[in-house]
Structure 1
């Protein structure tokens, strides 16, 4: 009797196991035929049954079905993304169940390489397939100006494969444009960790402004610049970044040291000349500053900042000359006033030429026009002053002097 009961139990167990394997086969059939919802229903039943729920192959098949569903959804919306995320979660569950080994068994199948352009029935529908499908969706969304979803699909591709530099760079680029700076930094930092990635210099150029400008964190930006310079010592722009950050951090001596070194390698760099002049001006060496400012304009006559800073310093020097007369006795004032006044007027005339050029470069800058009006008024250049006044009236209205 016991033997009979045992035989019946064994038959029942075998029948149940056979039944569950049949459900898995139904899921496989639906996967291959394109009836994905029926396939998903069948595989969910198998995944919930103790006889097949412990087999990582069950969840691999489910992930493949989910990837098919994800790929065939051409709407590429948030709901589509959720399907892709669900597929990734299932792949990772199967991988964990299989022992986390990419080189054997189900784990190897999960990470089987996916060749682009082959017939669909030859694709392995591995997690790499999911990555590639998501990347294609990102491109489609980007081409249709849906940058939020383009980012999300690039992000999914990058999450699947941290070594996919193109997915991470595209995700970082879009996130930066969208103002999603934390997301951008995450992808950029991932790229910096990829060995032998030859595009790191572009990563640095994106990361540094995020830290220094968007997040107002010059200390962090400076640390990144130092690392970038160690990786790319010949990159001149990195030297300019370093100098600018040293100025922000009020490390004037270090900034000047770096400027001198940079100018030795690039003597006609207008940005470096301007910063050199600025540091000299801050240190009280206005004559040295003026030399650097003027040289920046000699290198590039259309350099707005060079023209503006030169004109401004010439005016400042003229003002100091005139103010110095206030400290003189009446007798000395009578003697020095014509001499100092003439020298100040020379500065005003020279400043006018630089501000005129700056105004030509940026004709809508009314602040420069106001300065020019004041300079020409002082120099009694009536024609020039009236012409500038006319421009200011057109731009600011007839009562611009009262504003």
Structure 2
């Protein structure tokens, strides 16, 4: 253990040190039978990736870090660190407590980057596992538990997602407050910090730059919504209703929770309850464009297209420059083109079919023209949005608006 501690304490260990470190771990494993010996054996064992990272130095790339700090090793690190902290608190003797706290602060940004890289590689389950372990390392950083749940949902790991959401509910997490951002100079990526003071320390030390603050809205509605959706997916309808009902009792005027309950009843095809809840939300905030937009999304997801169009148009009425509503309404109306094209493709060449073809063609043209002002306004508002521009191009092409098509095409 003295040999392990000596190597562990080195700021710049060598490759030979690593070989000796691992050899001593192997020797310690069978003889570490007392509680303290087991605790410190596990502590030294999970510290191995940190020593390997120190050998690699600042040139370590994301793939090397993912290899060193994989979901399993990070989970083991969290377990061993917490066990060491608890043991030293119990015996009243600090050996590595201060070092662990320091290590957690320095390792967290690295581990978060590992999770982000896994997420970018579509390895959502693994990314969620990493962030959950980061939360285990620092339970004050509750945002990491929230994002772990989100990754679990994206990875279709609903059992884990549900357990994470229940834990968020238990700790009464809302996510409301201020998010403190700064850009990591080494990676070029933005990272979040628990407090302004913590962020400012990193900026002052020179490892981070471009600090900015962002207001975070409450995520309680989303959390309860996802709990309900997962329970519905599992066929636990009564539990889903109970979860949302409980949330509503605590926050009766929270529109996000009203919408969550409305969404649940929409999925259950209980239109009477859905309509009642929608009207309740609108009564609370009749000029909330985001509320109407969310109602549009909810209705569109449930294939209630007329309802969705009505809500998107109301959002645009409140704010004519509401880009998301303009784009969503355009894409919603373009869904009407699919059945028209299908019907045209099924027609033959008889006189009757030719007449029917012309009628359908006119309907298509009418639909495209109805979409045009919304799409053009959206592109005017966000000229760099590729999705909006490509959709507008397809409409120009369908309407044979050659000049406008060429002009827009030249900007892509």
Q: TM-score under structure 2 normalisation? A: 0.48
More strand by share: 2
Q: TM-score under structure 1 normalisation? A: 0.49
Which structure would you say has the larger Rg? 1
More helix by share: 1
Work out which structure has the larger RCO, using CA pairs closer than 8 Å and 6 or more positions apart in sequence.
Answer: 2
